[in-house]
Structure 1
Amino acid sequence: MRRTVTATCLLLAGLVTGCSGGGQEAADSKASASASPSVDPVVAFMSSVEDAGLNSYATGIPPYQEMEVFPPKWCTALDAGHSAAWMFGEGDLYPWGGTWGTEKTDAYQVLVLGVKAYCPQHSKALAAELRDAGVY
């Protein structure tokens, strides 16, 4: 929760700063700002999971504290050359918690969303692997 609040505060502070009235100062600020602001990957991940409208989470998305542990582990597994099948099998990295679970079809979508937020360099290869397997 603290990370979400912090990220939201930073985002709002950036919006307020960007809306300040000041001709040249505002132009200089916009010119030096990066094309896309840095967002904590857990915020991007959880937002994308919420926006996906997955059947597994129809009654509510699992707590981010439980969900956020998976994407870094998925990225580590992908860095090591493992497949999605390995992650959800012997890698024991299937997205589930003590009081929640994820349907298999939704789990692949959650995996893709996590990889996009945490290690986007693996996104294309993962999507190709899942398409080739007929699960994405």
Structure 2
Amino acid sequence: MRRTILLSAALMLALTSCSSGSDDKPAVKASPTVNKEERYLDTARGLPYTQDGEPLEAELLTFPPQWCASLDEGHSVEHMFSLTGENLYPVGYDWGLKKADAYELLVAGVKAYCPRNSSAVLEELRASGEY
């Protein structure tokens, strides 16, 4: 009999601890994470492209990995964007960006794909007086 009472008490305790009373705090919902491609493309979608067309997202996504690789090798933004350097200026057959917008896209790409290079890129751009 004593055993039955103890089991009943334990069961009641377990059941009451599972109930949701007014003192319970609401569960914290995890916010959806935005991947690096989307963070970069959010900036890219808001830029004013020149000429006749707009780039395809797949075309835009080719730039950040190349920028990061070049920066990791120690190259400057000036070198990456120059015709005699790596020629990684974001431009396509029927679209382009003004320099200030290209810098904005670069910064978004670096922050999303290789944030370890962000401070060096921002420092260079600010020192140039063009960003």
TM over 0.5: yes
Match for residue 69 of structure 2? 76
Match for residue 57 of structure 2? 64
Structure with greater helix percent = 1
Partner AA of 1:134 in structure 2: G
**Which of 102, 105, 112 is 2:97 aligned to?**
102
Decide whether the 8 Å contact of 1:50 with 1:61 is kept in 2: no
**Looking at CA atoms only, which structure, 1 or 2, has the larger radius of gyration?**
2
**Aligned length, in residue pairs:** 106
After the TM superposition, list the runs of 4 or more consecutive aligned residues in structure 1 that deviate by more than 4 angstroms. 57-61
| 1:1-136 alignment runs, 5 A limit | 27=27, 30=29, 37=33, 39-51=34-46, 54-56=47-49, 61-89=54-82, 90-136=85-131
Gaps of 5+ in 1: 1-22
Cα distance between partner residues in 1 of 2:52 and 2:90 = 16
Residue-by-residue CA offset, 1:53-97 (whole Å, 9 max, x unaligned): x33369874211110000000000111111000000111101011
Q: CA RMSD in A?
A: 2.5
Cα distance between partner residues in 1 of 2:35 and 2:57 = 12
Q: TM-score, normalised by structure 2?
A: 0.68
